[in-house]
């Protein structure tokens, strides 16, 4: 009799506890659903202690080509903040500029069962392998920053690229030079003599910026002379060394320093200043990205201009496309690139871009 009473009491207590926790309200079909696994009340559900409990929006594997890249650091931070704000659990990994390492990271994410992937490939040439891998696992994937060809992307319909059209940034760099009082021809010899400090030439951003910056000058009817073109791999120190060497070799002949990105331009500026040259007086200097450091230099008159590579806009776009994919959207071939616009940054409008 005593035993029955005790059992009855225990059952009543269990029931009271369950009701208080709201466990009875949880729809049965939510169990095990990674998208809806967390309660929105302050009282945790009964299974909240399970370490594998996913965030409200699911887990997102984010592969960055290398953390030690100024622009991709801004981009990565924006991406992580947006994902977290939307209730996803981002896991962000550093590819250390090593494609083999990134391939392993992608495979690990697949084994872990992430809900979606956002990948900044180390090598554009590895796109085929990456796409085949994510397709094999059926994981919705957004590629960012290094654009594969439409043919490569066509292999998988749950894949989309979010980035910018690098041709646009190159054209804007050329326009920044055309907007100067002497259109880049400082010594008045009828031609614009320039050096080109290129990013990683394997990357379409480097190829197009190199081509279209000069094309804008030619399309405006200007004669151009390339004194040197050197790869600087998007790196500030390399930008400085290259520019210092070119200044030593070509001296006053250099009228324009084109840099495929701002980090190399900041390096180039150090070399220009050490050589006793003065930007916007006896030499012009342009970059791309609109890093904070570059905005400061544009405002101070130490850079002719830069081009906003909208990290926040691209990060927001990447998450929006990922959510479409998670919602079941597919992309048709030839229609798998989503572009965010570049914006020209000059001394006149630079204030609009500063925080
Ligand atoms: C470019 C950016 C560079 C570098 C590169 C990495 O879009 O302008 O600074 O981050 O991406 O792929």
- Whole-number Å distance, alpha carbon 24 to ligand 1 midpoint, is 51
Closest CA to 288 of 263, 314, 313: 263
- 139-150 confidence digits (pLDDT tens): 999 999 999 999
* Mean pLDDT, residues 67-72 taken together: 98
Instruction: Answer yes or no: is pLDDT of 278 > 50.
Output: yes
Cα 277 to Cα 284: distance, rounded to the nearest angstrom: 10
Cα 170 to Cα 298: distance, rounded to the nearest angstrom: 18
Instruction: Read off the DSSP letter of residue 321.
Output: H
- Whole-number Å distance, alpha carbon 84 to ligand 1 midpoint, is 24
Q: Is 72 in the pocket of ligand 1 (CB under 6 A)?
A: yes
* Residue among 65, 119, 145 to mutate when testing ligand 1 (max atoms within 8 A of CB): 145
* Global confidence as pTM: 0.84
- 336-353 confidence digits (pLDDT tens): 999 999 999 999 999 999
Instruction: Answer yes or no: is pLDDT of 40 > 90.
Output: no
Cα 78 to Cα 312: distance, rounded to the nearest angstrom: 6
Residue-level pLDDT at 56: 54
Q: Which CB contacts under 8 angstroms, 24+ apart, belong to 244-252?
A: 244/271, 244/274, 244/275, 246/195, 247/271, 247/272, 247/275, 247/277, 248/275, 250/193, 250/195, 252/187, 252/282
Residue-level pLDDT at 355: 81
Cα 2 to Cα 266: distance, rounded to the nearest angstrom: 83
Measured from the Cβ of residue 250, the count of other Cβ atoms closer than 10 Å reads: 14
- 222-257 confidence digits (pLDDT tens): 999 999 999 999 999 999 999 999 999 999 999 999
Choice between 35 and 244, residue whose per-residue pLDDT is larger: 244
Q: Which of 6-20, 65-79, 125-139 has the lowest mean pLDDT?
A: 6-20
Closest CA to 135 of 160, 154, 156, 152: 156
Q: Which of 14-23, 66-75, 81-90, 193-202 has the lowest mean pLDDT?
A: 14-23
Two structure tokens written together for 271: 């070399």
Two structure tokens written together for 85: 């704000």
Q: Where are the alpha helices (DSSP H) in 96-196?
A: 99-112, 127-137, 150-153, 166-178
* Three-point CA angle 326, 123, 82, nearest 5°: 35
Q: Is 173 in the pocket of ligand 1 (CB under 6 A)?
A: no
Q: Is 69 in the pocket of ligand 1 (CB under 6 A)?
A: yes
Closest CA to 146 of 318, 329, 330, 306: 318
Two structure tokens written together for 127: 């796109």
* Mean pLDDT, residues 191-217 taken together: 97
Cα 350 to Cα 155: distance, rounded to the nearest angstrom: 42
Instruction: Answer yes or no: is pLDDT of 22 > 70.
Output: no
pLDDT-derived band at 57 (thresholds 50, 70, 90) equals confident
């Amino acid at each position: 009799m005593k035993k029955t009473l005790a059992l009855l009491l225990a059952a009543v207590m269990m029931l009271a506890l369950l009701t208080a926790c709201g466990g009875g309200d949880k729809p049965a079909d939510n169990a095990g659903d990674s998208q809806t696994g967390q309660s929105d009340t302050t009282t945790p559900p009964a299974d909240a202690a399970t370490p594998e409990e996913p965030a409200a929006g699911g887990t997102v594997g984010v592969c960055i080509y290398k953390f030690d890249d100024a622009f991709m650091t801004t981009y990565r931070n924006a991406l992580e903040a947006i994902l977290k704000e939307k209730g996803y659990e981002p896991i962000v990994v550093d590819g250390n500029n090593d494609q083999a390492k990134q391939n392993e990271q992608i495979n690990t994410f697949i084994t872990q069962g992430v809900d979606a992937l956002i990948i900044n490939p180390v090598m554009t040439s590895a796109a085929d392998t990456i796409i085949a891998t994510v397709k094999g696992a059926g994981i919705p994937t957004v590629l960012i920053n290094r654009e594969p060809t439409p043919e490569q992307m066509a292999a998988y319909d749950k894949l989309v690229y979010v980035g910018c059209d690098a041709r646009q940034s190159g054209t804007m760099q050329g326009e920044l030079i055309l907007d100067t009082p002497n259109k880049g021809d400082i010594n008045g010899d009828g031609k614009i003599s320039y050096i080109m400090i290129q990013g990683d030439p394997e990357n379409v951003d480097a190829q197009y910026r190199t081509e279209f910056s000069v094309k804008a000058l030619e399309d405006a009817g200007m004669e151009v002379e390339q004194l040197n073109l050197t790869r600087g791999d998007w790196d500030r120190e390399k930008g400085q060394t290259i520019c210092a060497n070119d200044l030593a070799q070509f001296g006053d002949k250099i009228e324009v320093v084109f840099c495929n990105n701002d980090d190399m331009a900041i390096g180039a500026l150090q070399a220009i200043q050490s050589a006793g040259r003065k930007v916007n007086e006896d030499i012009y200097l342009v970059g791309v990205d609109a890093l904070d450091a570059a905005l400061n230099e544009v405002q101070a008159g130490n850079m002719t201009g830069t081009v906003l590579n909208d990290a926040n806009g691209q990060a927001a776009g990447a998450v929006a496309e990922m959510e479409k994919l998670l919602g079941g959207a597919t992309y048709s071939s030839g229609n798998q690139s989503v572009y965010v616009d570049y914006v020209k940054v000059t001394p006149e409008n630079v204030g609009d871009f500063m925080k």
